[in-house]
Structure 1
Amino acid sequence: MTPRRSRTAPASTLCATVLLSILPGCETPPPARGFVAHHEKPAEADRDEADLVERGRLVELVTADLNAYLDVPHRITVVARSCGGEGSGYDPATSRIELCYDDLTEDRRRFEEADRRPADEPLSDVVRETLHHEAGHALVDALDLPVRDQGRAEEDAADRFAQLMLLRAPEGDRTLLTAARAYDLAAAADPTPDPDDEHAADPARAESHRCAAYGAAPARHPDLATPARAHCAHTWAATRDTWTADLTPLLRKGATAR
């Protein structure tokens, strides 16, 4: 085999070579646009949650789903990290979504106390719902939608974006209903809402997700049929149509909501 002339090759050529991509300084630069997944080294206390997120490639799956649907003209970094109690969120100053491992610890504890079994599956659903919610904030920011910086209105819009994205996928209704249950468990653990929290109260967020799941497919969820949910098909259609219209400048060709 003729040896490669690696000594004289430019650094960019070396870094593009698969066999040499492990060399220091040869990391592939992140894309300049779209949602980009990233993981930071977790604190030791968050190792189990970090393993779950990394093993399931949850951040990568969500960013791939978002990028298949939307063409965002700038980079939005989606980072899984230890946050020291700060809470998952979106920072418009840096176009950065943070998924906090320490948030997941509380959700795991609640599911395992309620169900008496390992909670990896429901926790994975919570991660997907959380990331789509925060992506909703990122898109409100990117599109400068009227609810931007409007507190509860923006939080409700972000919840509805999570509903839109999750209900596009097979079994997405299961993910949405698991997230609703997580809100129910949180409300049971702490029934007094934080007056400074701009989100709707946890029971209201849970019911919004159940209403969307039922409204999108009533025949699939006869167990959710109640007189109080008679409006849910109309509410879901409004959610789908409003967000799809708002996203029109970013929608990839052929992208549709369910």
Structure 2
Amino acid sequence: MAALLERHRITETVAADLNTYLDLPHRIEVTTRSCGGSGYDTDTRRIELCYDDLTEDRELFEHAGDMSTDEPVAAVARETLYHEAGHALIDTLGLPMPDARAEEDAADRFAQLMLLRDGRPEGEQALLTAARAYDLAAAAHPDADPEDEHAPDAARAESHRCAIYGAAPPRHPNLATPLRTDCPHTWTTTRDTWTRDLGAALRR
């Protein structure tokens, strides 16, 4: 996994994107290693991307019949790093969250913001790929872990697709369904809420 991340320059690309967009009062370190679960450590202000998580994602894609798994795993790694960066921002900026589930949802929405804010096709594709990974995980593990603070995998997948459609409905007619009628409003709320919360940290 280390070689895959290096080939695709995942951590460098994400860090550069965040540094271009934000000017934070504290340094946030990003590391990649073998560990039991990717996350953000509030004590060290460190984001950890775990090879073990990416290996599980690769196995999901392989089981689904993907001939090449490098590109989808790289896309999931990007989405994961942006999600954990959302946690880092909530901590660094002292953003109030009513509970752990609300913070996880907000971190997912930050990943959506970072991947969709410029309207680049590669960002949209990365988010679609992450949504597919959540769908595959939901099918492989239909019983949600009651200890998991995240939304169920299927719900996270749908949230990502809603954001993609909501950000640019004309580009994604294949995602249009009656249940996604409100997605443009949902996306606007996501974008405006995070932009407001980031406040002075935004580079102008």
1:241, 1:184 → 2: CA distance? 27
Q: Which runs of 4+ in 1 moved over 2 A?
A: none
Which amino acid in structure 2 is aligned with residue 240 of structure 1? R
Find 1:121's aligned residue among 71, 79, 85.
Answer: 71
1:50 & 1:143 partners in 2: Cα distance? 31
> Letter of the aligned partner of 1:193 in structure 2?
A
Indicate which of 18, 31, 43 corresponds to 1:93: 43
TM-score by length of 1: 0.77
Counterpart in the other structure of 1:145: 95
2:107 alignment partner in structure 1 = 158
| Structure 1 CA distance for aligned equivalents of residues 66 and 106 of structure 2 | 34
User: 1:109 maps to what in 2?
Assistant: 59
The runs of 5 or more residues in structure 1 that have no matched partner are: 1-48, 254-258
Residue in 1 that maps onto 2:29? 77
- Using the size of structure 2 for normalisation, the TM-score is 0.97
Match of 2:199, SS state, is: coil
Number of residue pairs matched? 202
Equivalent residue number for residue 186 of structure 1: 137
* Partner residue of 1:208 out of 149, 159, 176: 159
Whole-angstrom CA distance in 2 between matches of 1:166 and 1:116: 23
Q: Any idea what SS the aligned residue of 1:249 has?
A: helix
Shift of the 211–159 alpha-carbon distance from structure 1 to 2, 3 Å rule, reads: same
Q: Which aligned pairs between 1:23-42 and structure 2 lie closer than 5 A?
A: none
User: Is 2:116 the counterpart of 1:167?
Assistant: yes
Is 1:54 matched with 2:3?
A: no
Report the 3-state secondary structure (helix = DSSP H, G, I; strand = E; otherwise coil) of the residue aligned with 1:75.
coil
Higher RCO, Cα 8 Å, sep 6+: 2
Q: 1:194 Cα deviation (Å)?
A: 0.2
Offset at residue 240 of structure 1 (A): 0.2
Following superposition, the deviation at residue 115 of structure 1 comes to 2.5
The two structures, once aligned, show a CA RMSD in angstroms of 0.9
Q: What amino acid does structure 1 have at the position aligned with 2:78?
A: R
| Gapped regions of structure 2 (runs ≥ 5) | none
Compute the displacement of 1:116 (Å): 3.6
Q: Quick check: 1:251 aligned with 2:202?
A: yes
Shift in Å, 1:173: 1.0
Q: Does 1:233 align with 2:184?
A: yes
CA distance, structure 2, for counterparts of residue 115 and residue 168 of structure 1: 31
Please name the residue that 2:128 is paired with.
Answer: 177
* Superposition deviation, residue 88 in structure 1: 0.1
Query: In 2, Cα distance between the equivalents of 1:201 and 1:109?
Result: 20
C-alpha deviations, 1:96-142, integer Å up to 9, x for none?
A: 00000011111001111213402000111000000000000000001
Q: CA deviation at 1:168?
A: 2.1
CA distance in 1, matches of 2:87, 2:200: 16
What is the percentage of aligned positions where both structures have the same residue?
69
CA distance in 2, matches of 1:168, 1:70: 13
Whole-angstrom distance in 1 between the partners of 2:124 and 2:177: 18
Equivalent position amino acid for 1:166 in 2: L
- Equivalent-residue separation in structure 2 for 1:134 and 1:225 (angstroms): 29
